[in-house]
Structure 1
Amino acid sequence: MNPGQLLLVGIPGPELDPETANLYRKIQPGGFILFNRNLESPHQVRKLIDNLRDLSEIEPIITTDQEGGRVSRLRTVGHEPPNPQQLRQKGDPELIRAHGRLTGQLMRLFGFNLNLCPVLDISFDDEADNSLRGRCYGKSPEEVIRNARLFNTAMREEGIASCAKHFPGCAAATVDPHHELPVIRRSIEEMEDCELRPFRAMMEEIDSMMIGHSWYPCYDPEPLASSLSKSVIRDLLQENLGFKGLIMTDDLDMGALLKSHTLNESLDDALGAGNDLLMICHRVEQQREAGRHLEKADRNQIDRALENIANFKKGLQPPTEFSEDAHAALDQQVWNLRVDTLGLEQAKQRGNESYKCSPVEKF
């Protein structure tokens, strides 16, 4: 099996240019992640996803971040659902279930099969500038577990796989990993009592796990991003917590890694630490280089990751039949959910704060 299956890649624009399509035919990425730059209209999104599936010899993972609020890629082609913080503040479990159900149905309609959520981080400060604003389901472990479980269960019942993030919990970060490496100075006891509890509680209900880019001195005495850490992935996530699902990095093209590692070093360290899927979101040349490098990577590590990816893909569900009318009906329900959560006047004030992306999100 092609080692390109280990790559989860972002594509340049709303359609595949011939050069990029030829690259993907050659390296055969295991999956594709879509961003706002890829989304122009409902019909165009489905056509793009169908094209990505057509060039893939093995059914690909098709994913995006559809959390709610500003981290809702599909708001580009429809209404913006309420974010997790707004839903938890409203305090109605049925609205959270509805959010999960609608998210699953909408993503299946477009052709996605994995959603990069729920966020299981705990909000220690709803105003903290650490990329998590509005994205957390609770201010305590119990609140996160209760609310994230409602969303996650409803979404998975609609045939969309889930991905918990950002393991092992980055709520105590004071900087944004899109730009630099956060240092989270929590003790092992503090992590067990707080950050790890949602992950541990939902371990059997999560299909995949995204490892964040933060340094935890309690696990690694020397500076090392958790996404590259054997202590965090092999020892903590797999051995201690017993996670058996797919493990992926956050984007390897983030500032948290770029200042200390070359791309090839990040690929090797991430693979050696126990990741299966390696994410490169923003630069085609980096994806081409990664495809070449993985051809020469440790074969035992490659085979281990390929087996885990193949097992994960066995559970992927096919798209539902697309129509403009079907999208319009679901989009109206998303609007109704927004009004029910926020009230009509606030619902009209669509959030304009964009989710911070890597400073290298250019082509």
Structure 2
Amino acid sequence: MSDSLTEGGKFLILGIPGPEVDPATRELARAIRPSGFILFSRNIGSPEQFRALLDELRALLPFRPFLAVDQEGGRVSRLRQIGNEPPSARHLRERGDPSLVRRHGSLTGQLLRLFGLNWNLAPVLDIEIDNDADNSLRDRCYGRTPDEVVRFASAFLEGMRAEGILSCGKHFPGYSFVRVDPHEALPSLERTPLQLDAEEWIPFRRLLPACDSLMVGHVRCPSIDPSGTPSSLSPALVKGILRERWCYSGLVVTDDLDMGAIANRYALPEAAELALRAGNDLVLICHRPHLGWEVAERLARLPATLRSAAERRIEAVRNRLADPIPFSLERFVAIDVRIGRLRADTLPPEQASLPTHDGAKRSPVETF
């Protein structure tokens, strides 16, 4: 094992290829010691298998790893692979009852805790401007106004926090006004600083104290960074706005660097270096974890002063990660039944009764 590789690996959250820890993943994890892993539908076969996978991933590292998932509700619900799909943010918002959203947060936290997960990359803090826009946000927004987002997202955060699962507000600086899906290409956010402050940045600013971390998305924001650098790699956005203007000292993670917005323009090691230099602490590498060797080697060469600031923020949050609780299939079934009841209490009857999972049929690149 190379000390250099572990110095760079600590800034990485990696995906894994399938439902088991394959030899390549095991070798990589032991060599570079990533800070943790992110799990997807491709990793889930059954409740028992998924808990066993997470236990094995935890045992690969000599410290408590971040074990992350995107469990927002609706179509971005990885665990619908084996159970009921929770209602989406939009459906919950349309009911207008924060207590339903709080139930959703609580049940989400219970479900994740049972499997040994400790970090949910949710909630979405973007505003719904056009639910039909091709910007990846369909049905994922808690409001059509800043106040509505704050009202309902805060209820979700309260429910989940009570169960010990850490949160992540996303996707700063905002996908609301873009018309290109960042999974495919780099969008441009043609908004002035005054417009951003007056609308889509309000939920981020007001919920900073409630979020355990923030995720930076991939958009051009020419009014703030005229160079056209994607926001996730832009010092003007991450350092200039989050760190300096908003005085945010918490954990910042990039959206997946394997998304087309970044992968079409940058080699992965270069993108990861730019992300850390911009002020991020962790980078997501979800679909090409085999490149973790090169990325870890590149990041290990960054100045120690730059790495040490990110390391302090990572460790501060790592110390708050929840330990796993004993797994029980009966407990899983009981939680899943309650999620089904939440669907029934939220959705119209004709939608609540529809099947909510479809086996292993998933897009190769899943929505964040």
Q: Is structure 2 residue 244 aligned with structure 1 residue 239?
A: yes
Q: Is structure 2 residue 11 aligned with structure 1 residue 6?
A: yes
Gaps (5+ residues) in structure 1?
none
Structure-1 separation of matches of 2:152 and 2:168? 15
Q: Is structure 2 residue 208 aligned with structure 1 residue 203?
A: yes
Q: Is structure 2 residue 152 aligned with structure 1 residue 143?
A: no
Task: Choose the corresponding residue for 2:293, options 270, 273, 288.
Answer: 288
Mean CA deviation greater in 286-295 or 5-14: 286-295
- Encode CA deviations 1:237-259: one digit per residue, 9 max, x unaligned: 11111212100111111111122
**Match of 2:200, as an amino acid?**
E
> Do the aligned partners of 2:84 and 2:356 also contact (CA within 8 Å) in 1?
no
Q: CA deviation at 1:357?
A: 5.7
Structure-1 separation of matches of 2:155 and 2:269? 39
Equivalent residue for 2:349? 344
Task: Choose the corresponding residue for 2:319, options 305, 314, 320.
Answer: 314
**Match of 2:56, as an amino acid?**
N
Task: Choose the corresponding residue for 2:99, options 91, 94, 97.
Answer: 94
> Do the aligned partners of 1:70 and 1:355 also contact (CA within 8 Å) in 2?
no
Task: Choose the corresponding residue for 1:333, options 335, 338, 354.
Answer: 338
> What is the RMSD computed on CA atoms of the aligned residues?
1.6
Q: CA deviation at 1:5?
A: 1.1
Structure-1 separation of matches of 2:54 and 2:167? 19
Equivalent residue for 1:27? 32
Q: CA deviation at 1:3?
A: 2.6
The verdict on how the C-alpha distance between 1:356 and 1:203 changes in structure 2, with shifts beyond 3 A counting, is farther
**Match of 1:288, as an amino acid?**
W
Structure-1 separation of matches of 2:31 and 2:342? 43
Q: Is structure 2 residue 274 aligned with structure 1 residue 272?
A: no
Q: CA deviation at 1:356?
A: 6.1
Size of the aligned set, in residue pairs, is 359
Task: Choose the corresponding residue for 1:194, options 191, 196, 199.
Answer: 199
> Do the aligned partners of 1:3 and 1:306 also contact (CA within 8 Å) in 2?
no
Structure-2 separation of matches of 1:14 and 1:355? 14
Q: Is structure 2 residue 120 aligned with structure 1 residue 115?
A: yes
Q: Is structure 2 residue 123 aligned with structure 1 residue 124?
A: no
Give percent identity, aligned residues only: 47
Secondary structure, counterpart of 2:314 in structure 1: helix
Q: CA deviation at 1:285?
A: 2.2
**Match of 1:107, as an amino acid?**
L
Structure-2 separation of matches of 1:145 and 1:134? 16
> Do the aligned partners of 1:71 and 1:355 also contact (CA within 8 Å) in 2?
no
Q: Is structure 2 residue 143 aligned with structure 1 residue 134?
A: no
Secondary structure, counterpart of 2:67 in structure 1: strand
Q: CA deviation at 1:300?
A: 2.1
**Match of 1:41, as an amino acid?**
S
Task: Choose the corresponding residue for 1:253, options 242, 249, 258.
Answer: 258
Q: CA deviation at 1:128?
A: 1.3
**Match of 1:315, as an amino acid?**
R
The verdict on how the C-alpha distance between 1:143 and 1:224 changes in structure 2, with shifts beyond 3 A counting, is same
Structure-2 separation of matches of 1:355 and 1:231? 36
**Match of 1:173, as an amino acid?**
V
> Do the aligned partners of 1:84 and 1:136 also contact (CA within 8 Å) in 2?
yes
> Do the aligned partners of 2:85 and 2:357 also contact (CA within 8 Å) in 1?
no
Equivalent residue for 1:153? 158
> Do the aligned partners of 1:178 and 1:356 also contact (CA within 8 Å) in 2?
no
Question: Where do 1:35-114 residues align within 5 Å?
Answer: 35-114=40-119
Gaps (5+ residues) in structure 2?
1-5
